[in-house]
Amino acid sequence: MHSGWHRYGVAGIFCLLMLVGTGSARADDGEDSVFCAWAQQVVAGTKLAANVVSHTSYENFVNSKASDSPLTVQQYWSNPLDGPGSLNRVVSCKMKTAERINEAYPPAEQGGPAVASGNQSCQKVVSEVLVGVLGGIPREQLLVSPDTLRVDEEETTYIGPMWLKPWPFEPLHRGEDGLLHLRSRALYVPFAWWIPMPDRFKGNYYCHLIAPDFLDAVLRGIVEPGV
């Protein structure tokens, strides 16, 4: 269950994906389908709207690849809370780096601005999600003080097995400092000649992220963080 995030403050950004004139259609039309397209915009600093391929199989997601032409990202919701119809705690996105997007979509005019302004981070996406979720909760319904929340620096990895393990990914934990820490794990592989990998494995930015509905339920006191 992860169908309520469209009511958050980030909804304006999500809706913008429907309107950007990129000539790019999403691979599926469910409301959840645009999350990783929005995350791609944040990670690469671009207004392009990516196609999204949503997976229900972990193995299929693991074997999938993001692509830059056409710009396509891979998406997987996982790590549900116990119980029927429970919230997924994690959304994973396989995306492309700003450099690869700029290579695939050069400016219309020579010397014009780049389509993607530069790589950001999974941490940046989590920060944007937190701001949006907090903005969608009336103060009287907010049972977790924002002062007790911290967005941790992303855990950066460079090869697939390091990004995938340990699994399932835990996006939220209470630290020894008593604060709730929002975590993310990135796989970043630049498109560089000296990296001993086939080209299809380069120019990628992958993120494991906290699912907005799960964060919303935690902040409202509906569910415990669980870790």
- Decide: 113 and 47 in contact? Cβ < 8 Å: no
Average pLDDT across the chain, whole number: 85
**CB under 8 Å to 123, separation ≥6 — which residues?**
151, 152, 153, 154, 184
Going by their DSSP bridges, the two strands 149-151 and 180-182 should be labelled as: parallel
CA distance 160 to 50: 22
**Average pLDDT, integer, range 175-201:** 81
**Average pLDDT, integer, range 90-108:** 94
Confidence at residue 124, expressed as pLDDT on a 0 to 100 scale: 98
Q: Is the pLDDT of residue 14 over 50?
A: no
- Decide: 73 and 91 in contact? Cβ < 8 Å: no
Of the two residues 111 and 161, the one the predictor is more confident about is 161
pLDDT in tens, 22-44: 333 334 444 466 999 999 999 99
- Decide: 95 and 64 in contact? Cβ < 8 Å: no
**Average pLDDT, integer, range 171-198:** 85
CA distances from 162 to 64, 155, 187 (A): 16, 10, 8
